[in-house]
Amino acid sequence: MPRAKGERRLEILKALAQMLEAPKWQRITTAALAEKLGVSEAALYRHFASKAQMYEGLIEFIENSVFTLANRITEDESDGRRQAEKLIEMLLAFAEKNPGMVRVMTGDALVGEHERLQARINQFFERFESTLKQSLRAAPDDDAPGRAGTLLRYSIGCLHQFSKSGFAKKPSESFSAQRRYLLA
């Protein structure tokens, strides 16, 4: 029985994400992706017009997952500082569960790809920072924008360290030890 178009697209995105999880990651070609899936490159292009579209699919997954969880946190937690803490915990936990996505979030996987992809990841982080600011303003925090920026940059640093360590240095371990300095 032939697969539905949506199922094949999802299968391609999952394979791409798995390839990005390799500790000794290298730039992924459509030929390597097609080989992993046991299909021709032409078969990939029946589902995606370009490799950039494949990365856009991963970015959409990141955005949808993180902001769905962020909305739950802001609805369920009334304390603004606690919201910010939970938002950072959630982002770092998402990274640990989806290491291939970390390479997209840090921009490593996007080097040499269409510049709009990096712009979109930048927008993702700007939106996440805005969510942190809103939470901290509800705290109230004397400098919500400054603290939100610090928390975001800390998180991005944790993601880079996680990626560069071959996914050995878990971001949540760092946050557990450092949260009191960041959210004091």
Q: Looking at the domain assignment, is residue 21 inside a domain?
A: no
Confidence (pLDDT) at 2: 52
pLDDT digits (tens, 9 = 90+) for 151-184: 999 999 999 999 999 999 999 988 988 988 888 7
Instruction: Identify the residue whose tokens are 């032409």.
Output: 42
Burial of 177 from C-beta contacts in 10 A (0-12 / 13-18 / 19+): exposed
Structure confidence at residue 6 (pLDDT): 76
Taking the C-alpha atoms of residue 39 and residue 166, their distance in angstroms, rounded to an integer, is: 28
Query: Can you read off the two tokens belonging to residue 127?
Result: 């939106």
**DSSP state, residue 50:** S
pLDDT value of position 115: 95
Asked, as a colleague might, if the bond just before 145 is cis with ω within 30 of 0, I would say no
Contacts 24+ apart (CB under 8 A), 25-33: 25/103, 25/108, 25/109, 27/111, 27/112, 28/109
Residue 127 lies in a domain: yes
- Classify residue 14: in a domain, yes or no: no
Instruction: Say what the pLDDT of residue 1 is.
Output: 46
Answer whether 88's CB lies under 8 Å from 155's CB.
Answer: yes
Is residue 8 one of the residues assigned to a domain? no
DSSP 8-state class, residue 4: P
Residue (of 181, 98, 87, 91) closest to 135 by Cα position: 87
Domain of 76, CATH number, reads: 1.10.357.10
* Distance separating alpha carbons of residues 88 and 103, to the nearest angstrom: 18
Give the number of domains in the chain: 1
Question: Which sign does the torsion angle of CA 22, 53, 3, 67 carry?
Answer: positive
* Alpha-carbon dihedral sign for residues 36, 38, 40, 42: negative
Q: Is residue 169 part of a domain?
A: yes
Q: Is residue 26 part of a domain?
A: no
Domain presence at residue 170: yes
65 contacts: CB under 8 Å, gap ≥ 6: 94, 98
Give the residues of the chain that fall short of pLDDT 70: 1-5
Q: What is the mean pLDDT of the chain?
A: 92
The range of the structural domain enclosing residue 91 comes to 51-182
The answer to whether residue 79 is domain-embedded is yes
C-alpha distances in Å from residue 120, one per residue of 29, 63, 125, 130, 157:
21, 10, 9, 15, 19
What global pTM score does this model have? Answer: 0.92
